[in-house]
Amino acid sequence: MSKTYTVAILGATGAVGYELLELLESRHFPLADLKLLASPRSAGQTLPFKGENITVAAVDENSFNNVDILLASAGGSTSRAWAHKAVDAGAVVIDNSSAFRMNPDVPLVVPEVNPDAVVKHKGIIANPNCTTILMAVAIYPLHQVKKIQRIVAATYQSASGAGAKAMAEVQAQASAILTGEKPPTDIFPYPLAFNLFPHNTPLNEMGYCEEEMKMVNETRKIFAAPDIRVTATCVRVPVLRAHSEAINLEFAEPFSADEAREILNKAPGVKVVEDWQANYFPMPVDATGRDEVLVGRIRQDISHPCGLELWLCGDQIRKGAALNAVQIAELLVEKNIVKPEPATVSR
């Protein structure tokens, strides 16, 4: 009989948690048992899985007994509070937050890019930031053929990137504005409906926000390319779900748009969507609920002989978070390395 695993989801009631449940079911993950965990606010709530209702428990010291894999998806402070305890209890943690991504003991994995990095895990594996995952899936196949020297990214990030409550808030804002009322701003600092604003994560001394620096540092770590030059401008837009990105790539030598298109047509996790006659290219509504990163408008950069431009849309709750995490869990199962080596992740 094939091996089965006890999986726990920490953050099961969130936007990513909901998708994790759906993916474990639809991808037939070999489950022995499934535990759903969240904060005390959701304890007792039930969530449907395989035709049954599973009760959510508040996470506590005993939550990880007999758990093989913890899918942690409840924010950085929650991961910092619980991940090491889960590892100590014998689980491997696949963490969706930014808490451990840049820790040298923690592999940062996009299965289409660096699947072998999981082998070195010491109990915790990090899922990269959502905008970084989507970009990595789309540009790594090109980087494998001709090394990328510089990336200039501009993102158009949906409300759901800030969680389930943010998604509800932008809908409430739209209704309020349409009826002449003041839009609520409990989650976002400013109205997002009928508006946009630069990503509101903290700024560093160079004027880059955290989200932008994640794209810089995480891309370098995932590609194992510490010298690749990356700059980004991240913007929140009034789209409910799926992020978009305009990417400019500079190579050491010319890279034709046709050759890039041919490579991306065969690339794992990528779907080229281009109808130049109809001026039809990827849109967030088309990417929503899909596993692939949609890529289009692949064209020569007219300002640089070695430059390429492309546009992408991807469901950041799915490939940018939940799907990537489940794919990592599948890699662990496939390589039979669910049980970590003695925990040595620096604390």
Q: Which residues are catalytic?
A: 130, 243
Q: How many other CB atoms are there within 10 angstroms of residue 344's CB atom?
A: 11
Residue among 211, 67, 78, 209 nearest 134 (CA): 211
Distance, in Å, from the CA atom of 297 to the CA atom of 311, rounded to the nearest integer, reads: 6
On whether the CB atoms of residues 141 and 295 are closer than 8 A, the answer is: no
Q: How far is the CB of 280 from ligand NAP (least distance, A)?
A: 25
- List 7, 13, 21, 70, residue binding ligand NAP (CB under 6 A): 13
- Is residue 316 within the footprint of ligand NAP (CB under 6 A)? yes
On whether the CB atoms of residues 216 and 232 are closer than 8 A, the answer is: yes
- Is residue 73 within the footprint of ligand NAP (CB under 6 A)? yes
- List 320, 331, 333, 340, residue binding ligand NAP (CB under 6 A): 320
- Is residue 41 within the footprint of ligand NAP (CB under 6 A)? yes
Q: How far is the CB of 183 from ligand NAP (least distance, A)?
A: 20
Q: How many other CB atoms are there within 10 angstroms of residue 324's CB atom?
A: 25
On whether the CB atoms of residues 102 and 217 are closer than 8 A, the answer is: yes
Query: 328 φ, ψ to 5°?
Result: -65, -45
- Is residue 63 within the footprint of ligand NAP (CB under 6 A)? no
- Comparing CB distances to ligand NAP, the nearer of 109 and 148 is 109
To 5 degrees, how large is the angle CA 176–CA 180–CA 184? 35
- Is residue 15 within the footprint of ligand NAP (CB under 6 A)? yes
Q: Which of residues 85-114 bind ligand NAP (CB under 6 A)?
A: 96-97
- Residues touching ligand NAP, count (CB under 6 A): 28
Distance, in Å, from the CA atom of 44 to the CA atom of 332, rounded to the nearest integer, reads: 31
On whether the CB atoms of residues 3 and 333 are closer than 8 A, the answer is: yes
Stretch of 6-14, 84-92, 221-229, 304-312 contacting ligand NAP, by CB under 6 A: 6-14
- List 6, 22, 31, 39, residue binding ligand NAP (CB under 6 A): 39
- List 17, 141, 307, 340, residue binding ligand NAP (CB under 6 A): 17
- Comparing CB distances to ligand NAP, the nearer of 20 and 139 is 20
Which strands form 46-49's sheet, in the order they lie side by side? Answer: 46-49, 52-58, 31-38, 5-10, 69-72, 92-95, 124-126
Q: How far is the CB of 213 from ligand NAP (least distance, A)?
A: 15
- Comparing CB distances to ligand NAP, the nearer of 201 and 233 is 201
Site string for ligand NAP, 116-145 (x = CB under 6 A): --------------x---------------
- Is residue 57 within the footprint of ligand NAP (CB under 6 A)? no
Q: How far is the CB of 322 from ligand NAP (least distance, A)?
A: 8
Burial 131-155, CB ≥16 within 10 A → b, else e: bbbbbbbbbbbbbeebebbebbbeb
Binding residues (CB under 6 A) for ligand NAP: these are 11-17, 38-39, 41-42, 59, 73-75, 78, 96-97, 130, 160-161, 163-165, 316-317, 320-321
